[in-house]
Amino acid sequence: MTSRVAIAGAIAVVLVVVAVVLNRGSKDGGRVAAGASSDRSSTTLAGGRAGGSDSGGQVDAGGGGKGAQPATARDGVVSGTDTPLPLKLSTANTSGLRDGDEVHVHVDADKGSAIYAVEAWQCKGGVTYLYDTDVRPTWTGKCLSKNLSANSERSKVIPGAPPFSLVDGTFRVGTGVDTYETRDGRTTTVACDAAHPCLLVLKLQIPNGYGFKSIPLTFK
């Protein structure tokens, strides 16, 4: 009789332990592991990374890591959508230019939006700029791979500042010829002078994407 009572007591203890373990498991079923975050959102536009030789000091938009594909963007349209850019852009001193002259760029964000930065490149005229890779010289051969002179810039980033309501800056254009080889072995030439108008291509970085605006440049 005593042994039966002992066995019954042991079984009862085991059942209680099992019940406690199962109860804890049900409560922890959705728990995020230590050191992990349940919030997958991230801010990608206000930060930046130093770009490679083709980057021009690129500020990342859209979060792209090493395996990211370039987002599409049409002139004056938010990448991947038909929504016009939520900003107002103005430029000054874009015609009759000489080497080293400054083009003024001013951007105001629409109410409720923001402008984080403007990435500017001096590029070929007469071609389109739809992808981020279009302004990377050795990818497409459309933009300058180097400064045309000591007085000019091939590219630059004009950063915004909190509260990111505007960006204002200048870009020093160059005159001359840049001939180089692209990654796929093509030889390309970008010429900017009185006989060859160029474009100032602006990548405008806004919340959740970017868009392009191409500003015609003419030279004396």
The domains located in the chain, with CATH, are 87-217 (2.60.40)
Q: What is the mean pLDDT of the chain?
A: 76
In this prediction, residue 80 carries a pLDDT of 61
Report in angstroms the alpha-carbon separations of 89 from 25, 44, 76, 186, 211.
57, 23, 10, 34, 12
Token code pair at residue 168: 């204002």
Six token digits for residue 149: 């002179």
* Parallel/antiparallel/unpaired status of strands 87-92 and 102-109: antiparallel
Would you say 202 and 89 are in contact if contact means Cβ atoms under 8 Å apart?
yes
DSSP code per residue over 17-58: HHHHHHHHHHHHTTPPPTT--S------SS------TTTSSP
pLDDT along the chain (220 residues), means of 10: 49 43 39 27 27 44 34 64 88 97 98 97 92 93 97 97 98 98 96 97 93 95
3-state secondary structure of 134: helix
pTM over 0.85: no
CA-to-CA distance for 94 and 30, rounded, in angstroms? 59
Tell me, what amino acid is at 161? A
Distance CA 71, CA 63 (A): 10
CA 118 – CA 152 distance, rounded (Å): 18
Cα distance between residue 189 and residue 187, in whole Å: 7
Query: Cα torsion at 50, 63, 137, 190 (round to 10°)?
Result: -110
Short-list 165, 134, 168, CA closest to 56: 134
At 5 the three-state DSSP class reads helix
Strands (E), 73-175: 87-92, 102-109, 117-124, 155-159, 166-172
Report the 10 Å Cβ neighbour count for 18. 10
